[in-house]
Amino acid sequence: MSDLLEFKNVTKTYSHGLLSRVSTTALNNVSLKLETEQPTIMTVAGESGSGKTTLAMLLLGFIEPTSGQILYKGKNIHALRGEERMMFRREVQAVFQDPFAVFNPFYTVDHLLTVPIARFKLAKSKNEARDKMYEALTAVGLRPGDVLGRFPHQLSGGQRQRINVARALVLRPKLLVADEPVSMVDASLRANILETLRGLQKNYGVSIIYITHDLTTAYHIANSIVVLYRGAVMEAGAVDTVIKTPQHPYTRLLIDSIPWPDINRRWGETAIKVRESDLSDHPSVGCRFSSRCPLVMEKCKQSPPLFRLSEHQAASCYLYEQNPAIDPEKLSELLPV
């Protein structure tokens, strides 16, 4: 089986200015793999500062990793040139968080859709281009007559976000990176957009990396989940297992803090141990969650490896050290597709 995308021990460090020696590790030794044959939806979850957007930027080739490699179809994405580079640009598409900021207010929606068609020479005639546009818009549940010829300000947030998905779709991508695509959209429209994304995976065979802090939507759309905290993988596995039976103290805290729209399920009882005001110094060695962890042990001063808990679940925590440790590079083997 060939890999569509592979993260090989990727680390990204941001340094603060020229003179300062302090640097922030946004992503620490992350290895991931997506296969070509089986399109899947993988969630990357975490709070702000967890490195999830860094991961998206790395994946899209906007920034280079400090160490490690990102391979697309077996080739380092920063070594791609010419034809191959165009191919990568076409096949890896993104949908960003803010549907209000990504449009040029002076152009109509048509422009946004025709430019990629022309740029990548996807249509031989005007009619073919039009058909492609109509098809993509219909696929995301929009009526072409409703949106074509309109300016962005004449459309709702949900419509704009679906046009973004349609724009990605005309290029027939293999991989879609969706960075918080629904966090700025009304709750009633979220369902529509998530439905659209899932339809893409099912009907068009697009793999999706869904980046979010919202575990509720992650649960509904994804097959697998990777939970990040300050750049390190805390827990990973099948989305059902991880969200229903979280094992890592951090994942438990996250899931306990979800406000479920169900009055019989009260907000978590687990107290939030440390207020962030006391958190000015994050541990640079050892488990990154240790300063906030209610179950912290002496051992946590050393970085815990990933322990395999079941076929489809692993947590990076010494609470589970009786379980077999697994190589971080093998992480994606336990993610179901």
Partner 1 sequence: MTPVLQIKNLQVSYYTDAGRARALDGVDLTLTAGEKLGLVGESGSGKSTMALAMMRMIKPPGRIEGGQVIVDGTDLMTLSEQTMLKARLSKIAYIPQGAMNSLNPVTRIGAQMVDAIKAHDEGSSRADIDRRCKLALESVDLSSSVFKMYAHELSGGMKQRACIAISILLKPKVIIADEPTSALDVVTQRQVMETIDRVQKQIGAAVILIGHDMGLMAQFVDKVAVMYTGRIMELSSVRDMFTDPKHPYAQALIRSLPNLENKGVFNGIPGMAPALLQLPGGCAFHPRCSKVMENCKTQRPPSTTISGGRILECHLYSEKA
What is the contact surface with partner 1 in residues (CB under 8 A)? 47-48, 156-159, 186-192, 194-195, 198, 213-217, 219-221, 240, 243-244, 253-254, 257-263, 266-268, 272, 275-277
CB-nearer residue toward partner 1: 191 or 326: 191
- Least separation in angstroms between CB 197 and partner 1: 10
- The C-alpha atoms of residue 283 and residue 332 are separated, in whole angstroms, by 27
Smaller CB distance to partner 1: residue 81 or 266?
Answer: 266
Cβ-based nearer residue to partner 1, 130 or 198? 198
Nearer Cβ to partner 1, position 62 or 267? Answer: 267
DSSP secondary structure letter of residue 14: E
- The CA-atom distances, in angstroms, between 12 and each of 66, 68, 69, 303, 331 are 5, 9, 11, 18, 19
User: Nearer to partner 1 by C-beta: 172 or 213?
Assistant: 213
β-strand 41-45 against 207-212: which pairing, if any? parallel
Residues near 60 by Cβ (< 8 Å), separated by ≥ 6? 92, 94, 177
What's the CA gap between 60 and 74, in Å, rounded?
A: 15
Alpha-helix residue ranges (DSSP H) falling in the chain = 52-59, 82-91, 109-119, 126-139, 144-147, 157-170, 187-204, 215-221, 239-244, 249-256
- Residue 78 or 265: the one with the smaller Cβ distance to partner 1 is 265
Q: Kindly state the smallest distance separating residue 314's Cβ from partner 1, in Å.
A: 22
How far apart are CB 98 and partner 1 at their closest, in Å? 12
The residues, ordered by sequence, that sit 6+ positions from 278 with a Cβ below 8 Å of its Cβ are: none
**81 vs 275 by CB, closer to partner 1:** 275
CB of 265 to partner 1, least distance (A): 8
Least Cβ distance, residue 49 to partner 1 (angstroms): 9
Question: How many other CB atoms are found less than 10 A from the CB of residue 331?
Answer: 22
Measured CA to CA, the distance from residue 228 to residue 236 in angstroms comes to 9
Shortest approach of partner 1 to residue 127 CB, angstroms? Answer: 29
**In whole angstroms, how close is the CB of 180 to partner 1 at the nearest point?**
11
Q: Give the whole-angstrom CA distance, residue 185 versus residue 169.
A: 20
